Amino acid sequence: MGGQHGTAPQDFVEMNETLTDTAPTAAGETATSEGVFTIAPQVRQAMIEHALAEVPDEACGLLAGGDGRAERFFAMENADHSPMTFRLDPNEQLKVFNQIDDLGLDLVGIFHSHTHTEAYPSATDRRLAFYPEARYVLVSVDGSEPVLRAFTIRDGEVKEQEVRFE
C-alpha cells in the first residue's frame, strides 16, 4: 500500500492483458460492435469540459466501461503541461487503473485534446499508441465548436470509429 508498485511499462503490459481477456467472444456481436464506439452523454460532456479547462494545454484522461461503451471518464493531469503533447502521470495512471478495476470495468478509451489542430491522431499519437483494443478519443478545441472523434490505432494504422452518444 502506498509504495512503489511497478513501472509504467509493466502497467501497460498488465492492462493489455486485461483488454485481451475481455475481447468479445459471442459470435455475431464482434462484427457489429467493431467500428462503433458508444459514449454516455455525461462522459462526452465531461471530456469537453476538461479539454476547455486545460486550454491552451492538451488535456487527457481515461475512459472506462465495457462492450464498446464508455460509461466513466477519469480526467487526468497532463504531465507534460504542453499545448503540443500529453503524457499521463504514471502514479495517477496506476491509481485510475485500480479504480477501474474496483468498479469492475475495463479500460475502453484514451482521451486527449488538441488545442491547435483537428481531432485526428498526430504522428506522435500514432507512434505512442500502445493499446490496440482501446479507442483513442480526440477532442479538438481550437476555437470553434468542440469536435469529438474516435479511432483505433493498430500498428500505426488509424481507423475512424462511428461514435454514438447514448
Q: Shortest CA distance to 150 belongs to which of 118, 106, 120? A: 120
**Whose Cβ is closer to Zn ion: residue 16's or residue 122's?**
122
Helices (H) and strands (E) in the chain, counts: 5, 7
CA–CA distance, 144 with 52 (Å, rounded to integer): 11
**Which residues are within 8 A (CB) of 116 and not within 5 positions of it... i.e. 6 or more apart?**
56, 83, 84, 142
| Choices 6-14, 35-43, 118-126, 143-151; region in contact with Zn ion by CB under 5 A | 118-126
**Applying CB under 5 A, what is the total number of residues that bind Zn ion?**
2
Read off the C-alpha cell for 38: 458508444
Which one of residues 122, 126, 147, 149 is an interface residue with Zn ion (CB under 5 A)?
Answer: 122
Contact by Cβ (8 Å): 50, 61: yes
Q: Which of 5/154 has CB closer to Zn ion?
A: 154
| Choice between 69 and 78, CB closer to Zn ion | 78
Q: Least distance from C-beta 58 to Zn ion, angstroms? A: 7
Cβ atoms of 165 and 139 closer than 8 Å: no
Task: Please select the residue that binds Zn ion; options are 125, 134, 137, 148, rule is CB under 5 A.
Answer: 125
For residue 15, give the 3-state DSSP assignment. helix
Nearest distance in Å: CB 56, Zn ion: 14
Note whether 54 binds Zn ion by CB under 5 A: no
**Nearest to Zn ion of 38, 140 (CB atom):** 140
Q: Quick check: helix, strand or coil at residue 105?
A: coil
For residue 122, the minimal CB distance to Zn ion (Å) is: 5
The DSSP 8-state label assigned to residue 58 in this structure reads -
Stretch that binds Zn ion, among 20-28, 103-111, 117-125, 158-166 (CB under 5 A): 117-125
Q: Which residue is nearest to Zn ion (CB)?
A: 125
- In the complex, the residues that contact Zn ion under the rule CB under 5 A are 122, 125
